């Protein structure tokens, strides 16, 4: 047998540099761990279908009804995971957040379940039903102007005063992992999904869903749905860098934030396309949810259906092969006072 000789130091053939795989704020393992943690507290939300909406879309649609989640929106998943991940010492100081409504209520409810104080900074233009939810769950409210800058400034002041732990609405690893539990359930409920359409704002929801879904089914397509009046994700995706839109204007009050440093990399690298729709399309989609699914959704919750029915999606090359499309109906907290006043006047 010929003797094997090691190369001399000068002859060593060094391997080519292989870039490390990107590390994101959550993983399939952290999302599965989150699901185990929050399972005793959350609802396993149903998936609904509508043959008439299938006909309209020209494909099979599956609606993950997070409007039926505790607190009326998906936000309870992430908030519950974040609050119950805290050590007893940290939790005893209370928790703090800033939010346009749904995350605020979710944090207040999670804190109530853990029996710790919750402090929430809420914009003055937040819908009354969302404010009522926060108060119902015992949250301590501090008002701010309806801008991201004002929210963050007031939250910092409140944190300095209380020492509470800040739970960011989307730029937080535990929040992202909690929101990703939707994908675990969705793919178990509808294994044949070849696409999921997700509302996008700060990006916590779509980041968690994308990381879980692509880990479980590498061929699945993820589409972000975004209002034209708050299209920083579409602009960022097109530019290949994180952009912000300080002055957003859309009926979808829950989609007025912009992407964070933890969520942008997931959107940049793994989200397949951002579909933008105008407010009229969102309202039309809301009406369809009410009339055909019999599900109450807020504007932010209907943007996914609006995206699937849009010309951008219908004519897009990526969507052509997507015949089993999941849509996340992300929330159902909307003021219905005017509607019921109209009924009363008719009596």
- The yes-or-no answer on residue 153 being catalytic is no
DSSP 21: P
- The yes-or-no answer on residue 75 being catalytic is yes
- Catalytic residue among 100, 177, 201, 300, which? 100
Residue whose C-alpha is closest to residue 312's, from 274, 285, 338, 342: 274
Give CA–CA dist 325/54, Å, rounded.
10
The CA-CA-CA angle for residues 252, 254, 256, to 5°, reads: 80
Give CA–CA dist 165/89, Å, rounded.
11
CB atoms within 10 A of CB 194: 17
The token duo for 342 is 């109209």
- Catalytic residue among 64, 75, 130, 237, which? 75
CB atoms within 10 A of CB 112: 16
Please give the C-alpha separations between residue 28 and each of 34, 172, 347, in angstroms, as whole numbers: 10, 16, 54
Give CA–CA dist 225/313, Å, rounded.
10
The catalytic site residues sit at 75, 100
């Amino acid at each position: 047998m010929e003797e094997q000789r090691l190369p001399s130091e000068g002859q060593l053939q060094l391997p080519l540099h292989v870039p490390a795989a990107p590390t994101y704020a959550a993983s399939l393992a952290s999302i599965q761990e989150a699901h185990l943690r929050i399972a005793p507290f959350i609802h396993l939300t149903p998936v609904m279908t509508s043959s008439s909406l299938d006909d309209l879309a020209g494909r099979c649609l599956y609606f993950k009804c997070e409007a039926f989640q505790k607190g009326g929106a998906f936000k309870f998943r992430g908030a519950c995971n974040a609050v119950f991940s805290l050590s007893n010492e940290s939790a005893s100081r209370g928790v703090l957040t800033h939010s346009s409504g749904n995350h605020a209520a979710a944090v207040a409810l999670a804190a109530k379940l853990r029996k710790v104080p919750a402090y929430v900074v809420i914009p003055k233009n937040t819908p009354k039903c969302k404010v009522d939810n926060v108060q119902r769950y015992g949250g301590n409210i501090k008002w701010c102007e309806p801008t991201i800058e004002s929210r963050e400034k007031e939250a910092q002041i409140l944190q300095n005063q209380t020492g509470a732990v800040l739970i960011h609405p989307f730029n937080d690893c535990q929040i992202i992992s909690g929101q990703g539990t939707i994908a675990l359930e969705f793919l178990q409920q509808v294994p044949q999904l070849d696409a999921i359409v997700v509302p996008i704002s700060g990006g916590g929801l779509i980041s968690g869903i994308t990381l879980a879904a692509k880990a479980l089914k590498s061929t699945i397509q993820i589409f972000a749905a975004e209002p034209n009046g708050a299209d920083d994700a579409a602009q960022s995706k097109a530019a290949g860098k994180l952009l912000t839109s300080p002055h957003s204007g859309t009926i979808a009050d829950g989609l007025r934030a912009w992407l964070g440093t933890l969520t942008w990399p997931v959107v940049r690298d793994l989200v397949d396309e951002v579909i933008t729709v105008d407010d009229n399309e969102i309202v039309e989609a809301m009406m369809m949810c009410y009339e055909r699914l019999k599900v109450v959704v807020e504007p932010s919750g209907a943007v996914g259906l609006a995206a699937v029915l849009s010309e951008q999606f219908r004519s897009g090359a990526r969507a052509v092969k997507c015949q089993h499309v999941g849509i996340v109906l992300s929330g159902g907290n909307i003021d219905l006072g005017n509607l019921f006043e109209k009924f009363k006047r008719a009596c």
